[in-house]
Amino acid sequence: MSAPDYCEIAPRASLADFVRCVWTFRAPADNAPQPIAPDGCCELIIHRGAPYLERGVDGDVEQAAIIFAGQLTAPLTLVAAPDVDVIGVRFQPWAARAFLGRVADSATDKRIDLVSAHGATASEVLGAVRRAASTEVGVALAQDYVAACVAERSLDAEVRAAVLALMANDAAPTPSDVSKRQWQRRFKAEVGVSPRQLQSVLRFRRVFDEIEKPGPVGWVEAALAAGYFDQPHMARDFRRFLGVSSRQWAAQKFGLAKALAAPETYKKPGGA
């Protein structure tokens, strides 16, 4: 494997209410740390090869082979020691609980081993995806798994409407028949974070959309366009969410972190 290869695939139509996209990433071993930016979504991650290592204060710890990655509100740094080959399913923000089968905030800032959460089913899916003759077959198997998990699950229409409003940078509607505290709990149960936390994550995510636009766009311009008061305001969120400065982020070479943060720029030509 000579270079990283990132690709996004639209989910099958029957899963569109639950899944934002399916993505694949293959890359050679690389000991450079990869700070992963939050994007407001939870994900199913299936490692076809060796799992990523999570870097922490006590050293590097290997992820489980098939995981549910919850919402990020704190820095997560990954390292690809061996070659990596990953299939990811990025859920719609309001669909995390439907797949996981328990409240989404129980997984916030955690990577849940799905063998412990979903039992033999997850083990069988992992084995089938690893034996798959191609990535395309693996992607189909991953979507089959999601479809089976959400088949009998319903989505909270009011939470969905609130998330869509936040994604459009509008004020999120709040149901009039519940208290503010009840609504916060209900929203977190489905999404993994509160409306205010999601709003912060989505604003931070817009910085990457702005900085990757054609033409000379600097961090100050990107911060203001994303909704920050000024660059120091944005800088605090870089430390809060990534644990690095914007300058350190910009110095990162191509890898999973940049592929996920700026897919249109970093995915290879011909990717879906």
State the DSSP H helix or E strand holding residue 117, giving kind and residue range, or none if neither.
helix 114-118
**CA dist., res. 235 & res. 253, Å (int):** 20
Give the predicted TM-score (pTM) of the model: 0.92
pLDDT of residue 216: 58
More confident position, 208 or 198? 198
**CA dist., res. 235 & res. 233, Å (int):** 5
**CA dist., res. 160 & res. 22, Å (int):** 20
pLDDT of residue 97: 97
pLDDT of residue 39: 94
Q: Is the pLDDT of residue 269 over 60?
A: no
> What residue type is assigned to position 223 of the chain?
A
- By CB atoms closer than 10 A (0-12, 13-18, 19+), residue 263 is middle
**CA dist., res. 113 & res. 109, Å (int):** 13
Model confidence at 81, in pLDDT bands (50, 70, 90)? confident
> What residue type is assigned to position 116 of the chain?
S
What are the C-alpha distances in Å from 258 to residues 47, 96, 212, 240, 253? 19, 23, 11, 18, 8
Q: Is the pLDDT of residue 95 over 90?
A: yes
What are the C-alpha distances in Å from 78 to residues 121, 231, 256, 266? 26, 26, 9, 18
Model confidence at 272, in pLDDT bands (50, 70, 90)? very low
- By CB atoms closer than 10 A (0-12, 13-18, 19+), residue 5 is middle
Max mean pLDDT range (206-215, 228-237, 260-269): 228-237
Say how far residue 264 (Cα) sits from the centre of its chain. 16
> What residue type is assigned to position 158 of the chain?
E
pLDDT of residue 267: 47
Q: Please give the mean pLDDT across all residues of the chain.
A: 91
**CA dist., res. 89 & res. 146, Å (int):** 9
Neighbours of 171 (CB within 10 A): 11
> What residue type is assigned to position 112 of the chain?
I
**CA dist., res. 222 & res. 234, Å (int):** 9
What are the C-alpha distances in Å from 151 to residues 88, 99, 146? 19, 9, 8
HSE-CB of 7 using CA atoms within 13 angstroms: 16
Q: Is the pLDDT of residue 213 over 70?
A: yes
Q: Which CATH number fits domain 5-150: 2.60.120.10, 2.40.50.1020, 3.40.309.10, 2.60.40.420?
A: 2.60.120.10
3-class DSSP state of 270: coil
